[in-house]
Amino acid sequence: MQGAKPARQVSDGGGGAAPAARAAAFFDLDKTLIEGSSALHFARAAYRNGLISRRQMARDVLANIRFRLEGSTDESTDVLRERIAEAITGQRQVDLMRMGQQVLAGVLPAVYPQVLQEAHDHQDAGRLAYVVTAASHELAETLADVLVLDGGIGNRSEVRDGVYTGRPEGHFTYREGKAAAIRELAEQQGIDLAASYAYSDSESDLPMLRAVGNPVAVNPDRALEEVARAEGWRIMRFDKLGRRLRIAGAAAGVALLGGGGGYLAARLRPRRRFSLLGWG
Of 28, 60, 150, 221, the active-site residue reads 28
Which strands sit side by side in the sheet containing 214-218, from one edge to the other? 163-169, 151-160, 128-136, 24-28, 197-200, 214-218, 234-236
28 belongs to the catalytic site:
yes
How many Cβ atoms sit within 10 Å of the Cβ of residue 268? 13
Composition of the chain by helix, strand, coil, percent to 5: 50, 20, 30
Burial of 84 (0-12, 13-18, 19+ CB in 10 A): buried
Burial of 6 (0-12, 13-18, 19+ CB in 10 A): exposed
Of 30, 60, 150, 205, the active-site residue reads 30
95 belongs to the catalytic site:
no
Q: Which residues are catalytic?
A: 28, 30
